[in-house]
Amino acid sequence: MKLSEHKDLKQEILALPPKEKDKLLLRLIAKDKILTEHLHFTLLEDESHLRDRVEEIKALIVSTMERLKSERKENPKDILINLRKLAKAVNHNLKVTKANFEDVELRIFLFNQTTTTFKSGLFSSYKNYEHLFWTYFIKSTLVTLRKFYKLHEDLQFDLRAGMNKLLLKIEQGDKMGMAREMGLPQEII
C-alpha cells in the first residue's frame, strides 16, 4: 500500500499530534536497518566520517585479497565468492551514505585490487568458475563505468586513471573479446 494512493490517510497522519507522530516515526525507523544507518549518517556524521567509512572498506578489500593470496586460494571460485561479499559491502555503503563519487571510487578500487590470474590444473573444475568470474567481473565493471559517466566531468577526471587501469586489467586478462561483446570500451579518453 502506497501512501500516495491514500490521500485521506496522509491527511490524518499530518493531523496527528507531534508526540504521536514522533512515536510512529521512531517505530518505523527501527524496522529498517538501512534507514536507521542512513539517518545516523545524515544527522550525526560529517564529511570526515564518510572518508573514514571509505578507508575502512578499502582496508577490508586489501586484507581480503591479501588473505586469499596467503592462503593460496587464488582460484576463480574463492575469488568470486569474496568479490561478491566485498561488492555487497560497497553497495551497503552507497545505500547508507548516498555518496555516488565514493561508490564509484570504491568499485574501481575493489576491481583493481582483485586478482585475475588463477591457478588451475589441466582438467580443473574451476573452468566454469573462471567463466563465471569473468562474466561477473566484466558486467560489474560495465555497471561501474555507467556510474562513472553519470558523475560530473571534474569528478570523472579524478577517477579516470583508475578506470583506465581497470580496463587495461581486463585487456591483459585476455578477455577483451568478452568485454567488447558486453560493450566495454578499451580505454576512457
Percent over 70 (pLDDT), the chain: 94
Position 9 in a domain: no
* pLDDT for the residue 120: 59
* pLDDT for the residue 122: 46
The residue written with cell numbers 558486467 in the block is 139
Position 78 in a domain: yes
The Cα 111–Cα 50 span in angstroms is 21
The Cα 154–Cα 66 span in angstroms is 32
Range 54-87 burial, b when 16+ CB lie within 10 A, else e: beebeeebeebbeebeeeeebbbbbbbebbeebb
Position 63 in a domain: yes
pLDDT at 137 over 80: yes
pLDDT at 180 over 90: no
pLDDT band at 125 (very low <50, low <70, confident <90, very high): low
pLDDT at 121 over 70: no
The Cα 92–Cα 103 span in angstroms is 10
142-166 residue pLDDT tens: 999 999 999 999 999 999 999 999 9
User: pTM value?
Assistant: 0.85
Position 176 in a domain: yes
Position 187 in a domain: no
The predicted model gives 9-35 an average pLDDT of 87
pLDDT at 119 over 70: no
Least confident of 20-24, 63-67, 109-113, 122-126: 122-126
Position 91 in a domain: yes
> Total structural domains in the chain?
1
169-179 residue pLDDT tens: 888 877 778 88
Query: Which residue range forms the structural domain that includes residue 148?
Result: 46-181
Position 53 in a domain: yes
Position 80 in a domain: yes
Which grid coordinates belong to 23? 512515536
Which grid coordinates belong to 24? 510512529
